[in-house]
Structure 1
Amino acid sequence: MSKRNFSYLFFARQSAISCQPSDISPDSYRDQASLPVYFLYLLGLVLLVTSCSTTRKLKPGEVLYTGATVKLNPDTPAVKDQKNFQKELEAKVRPAPNKKLLGWRYKLFFYNLVSEPKKQKGFKYWIKYKLGEPPVLMNQVRLQNNVNVMSSYLASKGFLQASGSGDTTIRGKTGKAAYQLYSGPRYTINAITFPGDSSSAISGLIYAARNKTLLKQGDYYDLDIFKAERERIDVQLKEKGYFYFSPNYLLIQADSTIGANQVDIDLKIKKETPGAALQPYFIRNINIYPDYSLRRDSFTRASEPVQYKDFTIYDPNHKYKPRLFEHLIFFQKGDPYNRTDHALSLNRLVNIGTFRFVKAEFTPMDTLTSSNMDVDFMLTSSKKNALSLSVTGTSKSNNFIGSEVKVTHTNKNTFRGAEQLNLSLAGGFEKQFSGQQKDLTSYSLGAEARLLFPRFLIPVAGFKTHNAYVPKTHITVGSQLLNRANYYTLVSGKGEFGYLWKGNEFNEHQLNPLSVSYIRTANTTDSFNRMLEKVPTLKNNFENQFIIGSNYTYTYSNQVKPELRNNFLFMGSVESAGNLINAFLRKDESGKKRLFQTITNQFVRLEADFRDYYKINPGLIWANRLNLGYGIPYGNSSVLPYVRQFFAGGSNDIRAFRSRSLGPGTFYINTDSLDLFADQGGDVKLMLNTELRAKLFSIIQGAVFIDAGNIWLAKNDTSRPGGQFRFGNVLSQTAVGGGVGLRVDASIFVVRFDLAMPFRKPWLPPGERWVIDQVRFSDPEWRKKNLIFNIGIGYPF
């Protein structure tokens, strides 16, 4: 970490001030004549002047609109859920005043900061119209319009006698609006009438499903529920073949004259509904144009089609195998049209990743008596080959700075069945710029090939998916060379065969029945070999070894619905290695089982990651994470392999501690020393993170966070005393740290800067582990040992 550190002292004073700078005198602070005091005085003066400047540039006669107050039933009895209704009414008032931060209209400040730019681009334009916004004036306020909107909203929620009024108050160059709304009584539903079941076939369907209605006797009158009921009936009819029906053909009439603040509901089909909407349609021909474009339209339609089962395929260049569409299109000849098959077919065609444009056209037969229709699927292919380049930069808390370049070639239709082949090459380096290992450089080289099939190659008994997501099979092979300067060279290879599928839009599964990894350590240095002799468990980690087993990962996330106030993500995985292969191997003279003279690991590893994102308001999010991991080495293994161990510390973990330097347990290693290996792994992990994320302005975000956790060993290790996991010692051996962060959200990626310090050090003697009272920002030595600066790409979780 850089030796340039800064510390600031902040405190607040409560005082009454006006927009006259002369009201504040530094004489009142003479008894505290210090740099922080005068700094605060200067800061307060600047904020005072800038707050006054928001009206300074208004033209004569212009008045700044500062907002509105809305009072619901101010002098009449409150209604049920009145607070929620008042919030909804406040949100409907227009216009919105200029945005504020801690009472400061910062966007208006930036708008006034620069003069009008000559061009609609450049730095001045960015300051004035991107960071800033023009003043919202009182002449933009339309009182009666706002009253009408709010009264209409209340009427839509059952307050059919709602009324209101509005007024304005102007003081100097600022003004505000005030509204009073009176709801009156809220009406409820007395009775619901549906179309007769014998008047027509479509009326009979609506009547038969009346028990699923959203309209309930005794419920409040609510236009949103009425709209939802029309959409429910429309969905029901679309499933029965009524392709041309629309919710607009349903009429819901409410009779409020029956008294007692009640209404009778009469649901009927409009008389002017066209005949096409009143009859079901059946699928006749299913035509597929898999390489469609407007330029080749006539040529494609004139080509000789291929008949495959119920599909007529127009593919003159034979770009795709006909069987591809069997699991993508759900319609069959003679079936009634239904919206489910329509949506599933389009979604699968999109999600397969081969077509960049998908369209389905339905054409009824051109006769008065026919109820048949043809469906044409027009599919525009993506480019078969694509090349992508990604560059990432890293700055770790162990003073390493580096970068990685990755080139990926993608073939999206490898064997004419929408198979996707990804070939990637990656190279990276890390260089340490400070510390005792200054100028050491590590590098890595990697290659990977991944082939995805849009189906299960080996059918899984009893498994069927009838949703929008195509199940896939993947075959992956790859290798990596990792050179750790001053330590070793690690050569690894892997191969996996498995399945990926989604149960719905929220959950995803990945099952790899076969996963093989080979790890070989070469070119170890003398200093590293001496470390291995001191720590026998570490020596076992760096033996040449196989990891042969199976793994399963389950992911659940509702982040696909950003409109939810609370988003949740869960990732859980389980891996088992060595059981099957070791059943066929014999022990050697050392008591170990080996394959090709190489040890075969045997362990079970479980990990769970819970994440929760709660939106306090549109610009403030409270993010939390709980990460648990447990590995059990047994049989042929005494420790987890190094590549499967858990680590603590670093920019995405417990940020107040250097990368991989924390634990296990109360064991401590001096990261500035070369005597021991700094990467401390464990078999058990517990981590808690909480972070408050706030949007400051434009693309700049701030954060305050606290991290806690540690790692432990499943078995006792005499070379790392205090590292064994014991449930009763978890809290006493937990590390705690926290800090502040700044994020630049450029949409494509997020650049993150986090500054953290430890609050609790688990390796210290009991009773001395909390160190938050030892903070010394002014001490360079304290800053060097305790302040950790992290730079990362993306959010930590």
Structure 2
Amino acid sequence: MISNHKQQPSNMKRHLPYILLLAFILNACSNTKYLPNNQKLYLGATVKVTDKNISKKDAKAVVSELSDLTRPKPNASILGLRVKLYLYNISKGKKNFISRFINKWGEPPVLWSTVDVDNNATILQSRLQNEGYFHAMITPDSVIKNKTAKAVYNTVTGPPFKIKSITFPTDSDSLDTAVAGISKKSLLRVGDKYNFDVIKNERLRIDARLKEEGFYYFSPEDILIQVDSTNAGPYQVNLYEIVKQETPDKAWDIYTMNKTYIYPRYSLKDTAAKLDSAIHYNDYYVIDPKNTIHPYVFQNVIALHPNEPYNRTHHNQALSRFIDIGPYKYVKNRFDISPKDTLKLDAFYYLTPYPKKSLRFETLLRTTSANYNGTQVNVSWRNRNAFKGAELLTVTLMGSTDVQFGGQNNGYNVYQTGIQTSLTWPRFISPLNINTNNGYLPRTRLQLEYDLTRRLKLYTLNSFSASWAYLWKQDVHISHELNLFGFTYTNAADITKEYQDSIIHTRNPSLKHVIDNQLTFGPSYSYTYTNTTEDYKQNTYYYNSKIGLSGNILGLVSGADTLRGKAKSIFGTNYSQYVKVENEFRFYHKLNANTKFANRIIVGVGLPYGNSTIMPYSQQFFIGGANSLRGFRARSVGPGSYFPDATITNGSGFIPDESGDIKIEATTEYRPKLFSIVYGVIFLDAGNVWLLNSNGSQPGGAFTRKFLNDMAVDAGLGLRFDLTVLVLRTDLGFPLRKPWLPDGQRWVINQINFADGGWRSNNLVFNLAIGYPF
């Protein structure tokens, strides 16, 4: 008995958090006590279908659809608790900072007095009638209990009316014949339920199709779809598509194209037609007295050609391409009936250019996940029409510094500077002739770059690169990039004695690999599919696949084989020979307008062979950091279960970057909107990198069938501030699984202790970044 009494305080202490949580929940449920006098809290609407004339499946669909139409919506709830309403109530009217902050998360009560049940009933009944339930009746009611109220809409649908027959125009004139000719793809089908929205969309379909066949002046209002239920039979309707007799005369005619005029330097002050100064090129005329651009630039832009029927798709394609070409900010156009032929159209395009030259200065303050604080400055100069061929010439100067004021890399500051020059043509500069047949022009890009990276007290790296690439969009979702030739050369300079001693002391090949001279050259190809811009969809996707090659043909021809002592070099440097494949898949699921799940999987493999036994450092995979595993510092994980701390460089404090030939990474995020411009996130990351071939200096670093046992896992939360021009992101992550620990000890969830300063110092990683991680 005495022993039991002594345990009671301990049990009470253990259960105290649950008691407090229960007290908070019960208190949060009492939102009605904050209501004004004689007011009731609106709890939402219920739609009840009492009609037995429709199936259970149709009744369920009716309930779901009508429930979404009721207004207003009640206060949001989670498991029946209206937490946002509670936060509003407890902070309402208080002026201290904490209360004002809490109030931003809350929402005011939705009162029963704001609900117009009769108007809602009218809207619901109208919707049902538009969907073929012509006999539908909605009777509103309410359920009032104490200080709460619910709306109830008793619904009798009656049997749905279905389409018995559809009659299309039968006259022989061109417009009636055209409407009848496209009837096979009609949205209306015999046997379907009558639906007014489908009828409206059918009129839009007819208009869109006729616009492809030259009926420039036709409009959806020129089609009448009559509904007859008197001669169709019980709960059936006959539909008749008719071209209105009052349709304007011009809408009955097919128009073909005549001449196309382009004004490349238009402003609102220009009023003169200047047709006498037009330069004829191919199928169009360019009116450019100041000779600002070569006429041939527009040959892939204009899709409407003389004597061809007007086509709205080609019309819109030209508008998109005029913007996509680069130098032009606005484009407007008009079509006029030709003065010489009343069934021909003249097209006029008026282009307003950007300023030809511009200078941009950018500065960025940043904190990296490797505990570096730094600044970056970019100065970019661009010429949008460098050689009068709509070429985009860009020259960018970059300088950055990253300093660590505490931690293992204190004093090993990183300084970078570089220059990048690129020239992009809005067409293919090659024998290739790919016609994308959409609003996007193919492009050719030449890029040259030099970067200098200095890691204080360790080494300096010089990097030179060049590439020649073709870029094109197959359609709005699919894009391609073919880097026909890419060249990169990296050499190390000013290697300090400290770094050289570290290589000798640790015999860590990754340390030497960083400063090895590297030469890569070869093609690469990238394929991307995405529909993530279509925000109206519940599920959206992104997929990118890339393959890169280096030294393949030369290595095969020369018989390069490093393992057999036949390493080949160019200008004294062994060139890299490899095949590298990368795949990234993203999946976004929208829970509602303000909340979504975001998921990403990355798998990459580099295969060195012939003249190489390991991937060049610049082409290896890294993991950890602000856009990767956010509970681990940048480039600090792997390869595999290897951990460098025990063999760190001869008493020095710097931590080498860890890399691998294989990478697997997965991330999932829950992204709710909190308030205003602030969004939250809860994330879970997992992944690692591995070496393709084992080496004695990095035990556990090679990829094996037990690779899942090497996965690092972290979790965390963060905030995103959507500032329109950019998104500022903060993430706080911590590890859940450390792959370098002994088997059976790698999961460290039970060690999480936010109250312990030592744990926080060794495990919490703060990431500050611009933009979403994916």
Which SS does the other structure have where 2:179 is aligned? helix
158 and 580 in structure 1: CA distance in 2 versus 1, 3 angstrom threshold: same
74 and 360 in structure 1: CA distance in 2 versus 1, 3 angstrom threshold: same
Give the match for residue 592 of structure 2: 617
Offset from partner CA, 1:334-387 (integer Å, 9 cap, x none): 2111112101111111222221111120112469x8212211111111121222
How far apart are the structure 1 equivalents of 2:199 and 2:473?
34
Give the match for residue 421 of structure 1: 393
Q: Is the 8 A contact 2:510 2:659 kept in 1?
A: no
Offset from partner CA, 1:205-226 (integer Å, 9 cap, x none): 2222322222222222222222
Moved more, 592-601 or 508-517: 592-601
Give the match for residue 436 of structure 2: 465
How many Å apart are 1:768 and its aligned residue?
A: 2.8
Code of the aligned partner of 1:631: G
Matched, 1:565 2:542: no
How many Å apart are 1:786 and its aligned residue?
A: 2.7
How many Å apart are 1:628 and its aligned residue?
A: 0.3
How far apart are the structure 2 equivalents of 1:354 and 1:600?
40
Code of the aligned partner of 2:169: P
Q: Is the 8 A contact 1:541 1:639 kept in 2?
A: no
Which SS does the other structure have where 2:710 is aligned? coil
Code of the aligned partner of 2:293: Y
Aligned with residue 202 of structure 1, among 164, 175, 185: 175
How many Å apart are 1:322 and its aligned residue?
A: 0.8
Matched, 1:740 2:726: no
How far apart are the structure 2 equivalents of 1:172 and 1:580?
83
Q: Is the 8 A contact 1:541 1:640 kept in 2?
A: no
Code of the aligned partner of 1:633: P
Give the match for residue 277 of structure 2: 304
How far apart are the structure 2 equivalents of 1:116 and 1:309?
73
Q: Is the 8 A contact 1:531 1:677 kept in 2?
A: no
Moved more, 759-768 or 644-653: 759-768
Give the match for residue 118 of structure 2: 144
How many Å apart are 1:68 and its aligned residue?
A: 2.4
How many Å apart are 1:793 and its aligned residue?
A: 2.1
Identify unmatched segments of 5+ residues in structure 2.
Answer: 1-7
How many Å apart are 1:790 and its aligned residue?
A: 2.3
Aligned with residue 293 of structure 1, among 267, 270, 280: 267
How many Å apart are 1:302 and its aligned residue?
A: 6.9
592 and 189 in structure 1: CA distance in 2 versus 1, 3 angstrom threshold: same
255 and 703 in structure 1: CA distance in 2 versus 1, 3 angstrom threshold: same
Give the match for residue 567 of structure 2: 592
Alignment of structure 1 residues 143-292 onto 2, 5 Å: 143-170=117-144, 174-196=148-170, 198-257=171-230, 258-292=232-266
Alignment of structure 1 residues 325-344 onto 2, 5 Å: 325-344=298-317
Offset from partner CA, 1:576-611 (integer Å, 9 cap, x none): 001244467697996321211122111111100000
How many Å apart are 1:751 and its aligned residue?
A: 2.4
Code of the aligned partner of 1:510: E
How many Å apart are 1:131 and its aligned residue?
A: 6.6
Percent identical pairs in the alignment equals 37
Give the match for residue 3 of structure 2: none
Moved more, 395-404 or 499-508: 395-404
Which SS does the other structure have where 1:723 is aligned? coil
- Alignment length (residue pairs): 757
How far apart are the structure 1 equivalents of 2:339 and 2:523?
58
Give the match for residue 472 of structure 2: 501
How far apart are the structure 1 equivalents of 2:449 and 2:491?
14
Code of the aligned partner of 1:527: E
Q: Is the 8 A contact 2:685 2:714 kept in 1?
A: yes
Q: Is the 8 A contact 1:55 1:64 kept in 2?
A: no
How many Å apart are 1:419 and its aligned residue?
A: 0.8
Which SS does the other structure have where 1:148 is aligned? helix
Code of the aligned partner of 2:269: R
Which SS does the other structure have where 1:272 is aligned? coil
Code of the aligned partner of 1:87: S
**TM-score, scaled relative to structure 2:** 0.90
Offset from partner CA, 1:656-696 (integer Å, 9 cap, x none): 22211111112112299544852111001111111222222
Which SS does the other structure have where 1:567 is aligned? strand
365 and 548 in structure 1: CA distance in 2 versus 1, 3 angstrom threshold: closer
Give the match for residue 446 of structure 2: 475
How many Å apart are 1:37 and its aligned residue?
A: 3.9
Which SS does the other structure have where 1:391 is aligned? strand
Give the match for residue 665 of structure 1: 640
695 and 279 in structure 1: CA distance in 2 versus 1, 3 angstrom threshold: same
How far apart are the structure 1 equivalents of 2:646 and 2:251?
75
Q: What is the root-mean-square deviation in Å for CA atoms of aligned residues?
A: 3.1
Aligned with residue 398 of structure 1, among 361, 370, 373: 370
Q: Is the 8 A contact 2:334 2:349 kept in 1?
A: yes
Q: Is the 8 A contact 1:736 1:761 kept in 2?
A: yes
Moved more, 247-256 or 342-351: 247-256
Q: Is the 8 A contact 2:488 2:519 kept in 1?
A: yes
Offset from partner CA, 1:761-782 (integer Å, 9 cap, x none): 2222333322323334444333
Q: Is the 8 A contact 2:87 2:105 kept in 1?
A: no
Code of the aligned partner of 1:289: Y
How far apart are the structure 1 equivalents of 2:646 and 2:403?
16
How far apart are the structure 2 equivalents of 1:345 and 1:129?
50
126 and 268 in structure 1: CA distance in 2 versus 1, 3 angstrom threshold: farther
Offset from partner CA, 1:718-746 (integer Å, 9 cap, x none): 111121112x1112222222222232232
How far apart are the structure 2 equivalents of 1:213 and 1:241?
19
Q: Is the 8 A contact 2:511 2:656 kept in 1?
A: no
Aligned with residue 409 of structure 1, among 343, 366, 381: 381
How far apart are the structure 1 equivalents of 2:541 and 2:721?
24
How far apart are the structure 2 equivalents of 1:291 and 1:130?
49
Code of the aligned partner of 1:231: L
How far apart are the structure 2 equivalents of 1:743 and 1:39?
31
Q: Is the 8 A contact 1:303 1:316 kept in 2?
A: no
How far apart are the structure 1 equivalents of 2:281 and 2:78?
64
Matched, 1:710 2:688: yes
Give the match for residue 437 of structure 1: 409
Moved more, 97-106 or 227-236: 97-106
Q: Is the 8 A contact 1:491 1:520 kept in 2?
A: yes
Matched, 1:770 2:747: yes
85 and 77 in structure 1: CA distance in 2 versus 1, 3 angstrom threshold: closer
How many Å apart are 1:99 and its aligned residue?
A: 4.8
Give the match for residue 610 of structure 2: 635
How far apart are the structure 2 equivalents of 1:128 and 1:784?
29
81 and 526 in structure 1: CA distance in 2 versus 1, 3 angstrom threshold: farther
How far apart are the structure 1 equivalents of 2:557 and 2:701?
34
Give the match for residue 733 of structure 2: 756
**TM-score, scaled relative to structure 1:** 0.88
Q: Is the 8 A contact 2:54 2:159 kept in 1?
A: no
How far apart are the structure 1 equivalents of 2:406 and 2:558?
48
How many Å apart are 1:164 and its aligned residue?
A: 0.2
Which SS does the other structure have where 2:708 is aligned? coil
How many Å apart are 1:541 and its aligned residue?
A: 4.5
How far apart are the structure 2 equivalents of 1:228 and 1:764?
62
Q: Is the 8 A contact 2:91 2:103 kept in 1?
A: no
Offset from partner CA, 1:300-331 (integer Å, 9 cap, x none): 64772222222222212111111111111111
Q: Is the 8 A contact 2:691 2:701 kept in 1?
A: yes
Moved more, 419-428 or 396-405: 396-405
Give the match for residue 14 of structure 1: none
How far apart are the structure 2 equivalents of 1:611 and 1:488?
38
How many Å apart are 1:454 and its aligned residue?
A: 0.6
Matched, 1:70 2:47: yes
136 and 779 in structure 1: CA distance in 2 versus 1, 3 angstrom threshold: closer
Offset from partner CA, 1:404-442 (integer Å, 9 cap, x none): 221212211111121111111111111112213324321
Q: Is the 8 A contact 2:91 2:100 kept in 1?
A: no
602 and 672 in structure 1: CA distance in 2 versus 1, 3 angstrom threshold: closer
Give the match for residue 647 of structure 1: 622
Which SS does the other structure have where 2:657 is aligned? coil
How far apart are the structure 2 equivalents of 1:562 and 1:659?
32
Q: Is the 8 A contact 2:412 2:458 kept in 1?
A: no
